[in-house]
Amino acid sequence: MQKRFTNGKTGLIPLEVSGLSYHADDRPLLDALDVRISSADRTVIMGPNGAGKSLFLRIIHGLIAPGAGDVRWGGRAMSDDVRRRQAMVFQRPVLLRRSVAGNMDFALSLRGAIDEEKRDALIERVGLGNARDQPARTLSGGEQQRLALARALALEPEVLMLDEPTANLDPASVLMIEEIVNEAHHAGAKIIFVTHDLSQARRLGDEIIFMHRGKILEQTQGDVFFKAPQSQAARDFIEGRIVT
Amino acid sequence: MQDFGNALELAIRLVASGDSDLMEIIALSLRVSLTALLVSAILGFSIGALVATSTFKGRGAIKILLSALMGLPPVVVGLIVYIFLSNAGPLGWTQLLYTPTAMIIAQTLLITPIIGALSTQVIEDIYLEYKDFFTSLAMSRRAVAGALLWDGRYSLLTVALAGFGRAIAEVGAIIIVGGNINHLTRVMTTAIALETSKGDLALAMALGLILIVVSLAINASVIALNLTAKRYAYA
Ligand SMILES: Nc1ncnc2c1ncn2[C@@H]1O[C@H](COP(=O)(O)OP(=O)(O)OP(=O)(O)O)[C@@H](O)[C@H]1O
Ligand SMILES: [Mg+2]
């Protein structure tokens, strides 16, 4: 029933992480993680605040060097070339001091010529058609997140990483974003999606990775995870109890 | 000595009549300071972009040095340029002493550290915010610098205006290397200094009025730029 891309269109799969640690002042923020993401399905990363989800994403995308351990995409170490085939939507959108269209053009120009038709279609797709010439930083929080997604899609990434991209959105926009993410997935992009939202994780999580206190406690198929979480922390999380 | 009211009246008449000596002095002032600004902006913005986006060891030292040089007394800058350009100096052969070029050099030395230090700060702040995004895009150093300069455009313009304000109002450096020679190196500030000491207050006050207008215009532009930047959330 699940889509199988047999390791996808992308040569960047599997992602293999071994012995990944990151410390700040001797406090382990990520603690000897070993994980392998081998399918091109949608991987959802869940876990309570401060679990290390954003940090994990930033390290596998090569934004921060790990303290120890190894990250390999399709057998390759991170490089500019590998990173150019990925895109990340940050938890706090980083928008340039330019118009909505200017932000899109910036991304497009880095990957070749600016295709205005494609740009406008993407802006339209995220519901910002009326704001094309508006200064991006005057957009509302949710609009900013949608622009950040459109801009990431303009890069046509083989791996699309999203760090809580719907945290500030109204329900309709949440569905819009999920639809767009699914379209990107159908077009062949590997999706790695961080969320706190249980129902969203149910909808998107072909595979669930559950993190807690810098450790990966579970990596299971989505349907299995919600029926039979293996760790107490995941059970608490799913049932809405405070995770200790 | 003329009394104040008299001098002011004469000054206003001079300005209104477009007195040719007066215009010549204003034109040279603008030429010298705008040229110095252009060179300093190119140097200062480049230094700013380079220092703000680098991680090399001497980075902190350069920042401290730039800040320290920001407060250089103009007369000291004038003295140093004088020593280099005087006949006995290492650059004496250029015969540049007492020319507008010497004045441009002095003002460039004076304001490049200001523009460099302030733009480093501006660009650093923006870079901090954009860094992850730019790294994610695997951009080249050149593209990063270009994007930062463009996104800092409003703040950098105010930095340039601050540099220009300092140059146009400065007297200590250019009087030493320019010599305040009539029709050759006489600019607004040096003329004011000279005419005042000679007791000819009318011309001095006319030039003083112009300088005040220039300084008001600079400040008004800074305020306008800041307001625009805020309105567009580009600050
Ligand atoms: N550079 C850093 N220096 C010190 N501590 C850090 C650093 N980066 C992250 N941390 C800490 O690491 C922990 C994990 O942070 P991270 O942002 O990955 O959490 P998260 O799982 O994404 O949480 P949230 O759901 O709130 O976004 C937090 O306790 C955070 O304070
Ligand atoms: Mg996070």
* Mean pLDDT for chain B overall: 94
Q: How far is the CA of A49 from the centre of ligand 1 (A)?
A: 8
Q: What angle do CA A33, A34, A35 make, to 5 degrees?
A: 115
Q: What is the mean pLDDT of chain A?
A: 92
- The closest ligand to the CA of A59 turns out to be 1
The pLDDT of A105-118, averaged and rounded, is: 93
Nearest CA in chain A to B133: A94
Ligand having the closest approach to the CA of A55: 1
Q: Is the pLDDT of residue A8 over 90?
A: no
On the question of pLDDT at B85 being above 90, the answer is: yes
- pLDDT value, residue A184: 96
Query: What confidence score (pLDDT) does residue B5 get?
Result: 85
**Closest partner residue to B151 among A80, A84, A96, by Cβ?**
A96
Confidence at A159, pLDDT banded by 50, 70, 90: very high
Q: Do A106 and B147 touch (CB under 8 A)?
A: yes
Residue A225 has phi, psi (to 5 degrees) of -55, -45
> Token match 């204003």: residue?
B26
Would the pLDDT of A3 be above 50? Answer: no
User: What is the band of B177 on the pLDDT scale with cuts at 50, 70, 90?
Assistant: very high
Asked if residues B118 and B52 have their Cβ atoms less than 8 Å apart, the reply is: no
Cα radius of gyration (chain B): 20
Q: Are A124 and A143 in contact (CB under 8 A)?
A: no
pLDDT higher than threshold 50 for residue A7: no
Is B56 within 8 Å of B45 (Cβ atoms)? no
Does the beta carbon of A8 sit less than 6 angstroms from any atom of ligand 1?
A: no
* Top-confidence residue, A166 or B8: A166
Mean pLDDT to the nearest integer, B73-99: 96
Mutate to test the interface with B, among A97, A156, A160 (most CBs of B within 10 A): A97
pLDDT band at B11 (very low <50, low <70, confident <90, very high): confident
Cβ B123 vs Cβ B49: under 8 Å:
yes
Q: What percentage of residues in chain B have a pLDDT greater than 90?
A: 85
Token digits for A60? 């596998």
Q: What is the structure's pLDDT at A112?
A: 87
Distance in angstroms (rounded) separating the CA atoms of residues A180 and B176: 68
Of B132, B152, B153, the CB nearest to A94: B132
- pLDDT value of position B94: 95
* Nearest CA, atom 25, ligand 1: A49
Average pLDDT over residues A79-107: 96
Pocket test for ligand 1, best of A26, A53, A195, A210 (most atoms within 8 A of CB): A53
Measured from the Cα of A64, ligand 1's closest atom is 1
B1 pLDDT above the threshold of 60:
no
Token pair 């730039």 is found at: B66
- Mean pLDDT over A175-195 rounds to 96
**With 70 as the cut, is the pLDDT of residue A1 above it?**
no
| Of A60, A57, A52, A61, nearest in space to A23 by CA | A52
Average pLDDT on A18-46 reads 94
* pLDDT computed for residue A168 by the predictor: 79
Residues of B in contact with A80 (CB under 8 A): 138
* Nearest residue in A to B151, CA atom: A97
| pLDDT reported for residue B143 | 95
Check residue A10 and give its pLDDT.
Answer: 63
Residue closest by Cα to atom 29 of ligand 1: A50
Are A94 and B133 an interchain contact pair (Cβ–Cβ within 8 Å)? yes
A22 membership: H or E segment, kind and range: strand A15-24
Name the least confident of A202-211, B72-81, B83-92, B204-213: B204-213
Contacts of B135 in chain A (CB under 8 A): 62-63, 83
Chain A interface test: which of B129, B131, B136, B144 (most A C-beta within 10 Å): B136
pLDDT at B8 over 90: no
How far apart are the CA of B194 and the nearest CA of chain A, in angstroms?
47
Rounded distance between C-alpha atoms, residue A191 and residue A183, angstroms: 11
Q: Residue A241: is its pLDDT beyond 70?
A: yes
Sketch out chain B's domains with CATH numbers: 2-233 (1.10.3720.10)
Min Cα distance B142 → chain A (Å) is 12
Q: Tell whether ligand 1 has an atom less than 6 A from the beta carbon of residue A49.
A: yes
| pLDDT value for A240 | 86
What is residue A135's DSSP assignment?
B
How far apart are alpha carbons A218 and A35 in whole angstroms?
10
pLDDT at B188 over 70: yes
How far is B226 from chain A, CA to nearest CA, in Å? 14
* Residue with CA closest to ligand 1 atom 10: A29
